[in-house]
Structure formats: structure tokens, C-alpha cells
Amino acid sequence: MHLPTICLVILCSLASGQVLFQAKVTCNIGTYWCGELYILEEDWLFHDQLAHDKFCTSDMYKQLDYTVNPKDFPTMDYEIFYKFNHNCTADGKTYCVQPKESKKVHKWVGHRRVKFLIDASANGKPKTCEWPFFYGGFWG
């Protein structure tokens, strides 16, 4: 009698899963700089924000590791990407960097980890990545 409910609870608990997001950011301008990272899961209308963080450093490399928990259901894959604001530029202006495409993470099988190499050094569009992040691929 309660078998469908039990099966649904088991299916929903298996459907969600943590994903390890790893990014190595490079800034080779040799000065103090700041970054702001949005970790997102691609959706049709609005992208889901999974994490948001800000930091400042004078290091050339910054390793970023986050465990995120996408909630899309039903779906077989998560499409993880980022938007990254930084001032790693000679003039100190803010630039928006994002990958050309998202990385798929299979919800049911294998390692749930994505890795990105972010070269912030004067890369990106000379503007701030702004919320909300609407659908439209990776524009805006």
C-alpha cells in the first residue's frame, strides 16, 4: 500500500548528490587582486546558484574547492559552470570570465567532480558578471 511512497522517497534521495567543484585561478600581474566566484548549474530559464564567494590575495595562484549540492530533479546530469569577476588587470578594472561551455556531471554514476582552470590575467569581458543569470547560453 505504501510501496509507491517508499520507492519515491528512495528515488529522491538517490537523485540528489554532492559535486566537488575545483578551480585553479591564475593571476600573473604581480599585485594584490580580488575575485568573486559564482558556481552555477545550467537550467533552461534561470541558472541555479550553487555557491558564491569572494576573496582577495597577492598570490599568483588561488585554489578554490567547494562542495555543492544541485537539486535538479528529474535529470540525469548536472551542467556545472561558473562566472568569475576579477580585477587581475593592469588598470584594476573588473572583468567577467566564464567557460565556453558547462561541464556535465552524471548524477548516478562515477565521480561527481568538475575541474576548471581559470586564467584571470586580463581575460574576460570588461564588465561585472551580474545576477540574475538568465538562460541564453553563457552570454551576459
CATH of the domain at 45: 2.60.40
Q: Is residue 27 part of a domain?
A: yes
Q: Identify the domain containing residue 21 by its residue range.
A: 17-119
Question: What does the DSSP assignment read for 95-114?
Answer: EEE--SS-EEEESSSS--EE
- Structural domains of the chain, count: 1
Cα–Cα distance for residue pair 15/110, rounded to 1 Å: 14
CB 41 within 8 A of CB 48: yes
Residues in the chain: 140
Q: Is residue 108 part of a domain?
A: yes
Q: Is residue 49 part of a domain?
A: yes
Element (H, E) at 4: helix 3-15
Q: Is residue 126 part of a domain?
A: no
CA 128 to centroid of chain Cα atoms: 16
Position 43 scores a pLDDT of: 76
Q: Is residue 31 part of a domain?
A: yes
Q: Is residue 25 part of a domain?
A: yes
Position 6 scores a pLDDT of: 46
Low-confidence ranges of the chain (pLDDT < 70): 1-16, 44-45, 72-75, 108-111, 132-140
Nearest to 83 by CA among 23, 36, 121: 36
Position 138 scores a pLDDT of: 44
Position 17 scores a pLDDT of: 72
Cα–Cα distance for residue pair 11/27, rounded to 1 Å: 43
Helices (H) and strands (E) in the chain, counts: 1, 8
Position 130 scores a pLDDT of: 73
Position 2 scores a pLDDT of: 56
Q: Is residue 66 part of a domain?
A: yes
Phi/psi of residue 3, nearest 5 degrees: -60, -45
Q: Is residue 111 part of a domain?
A: yes
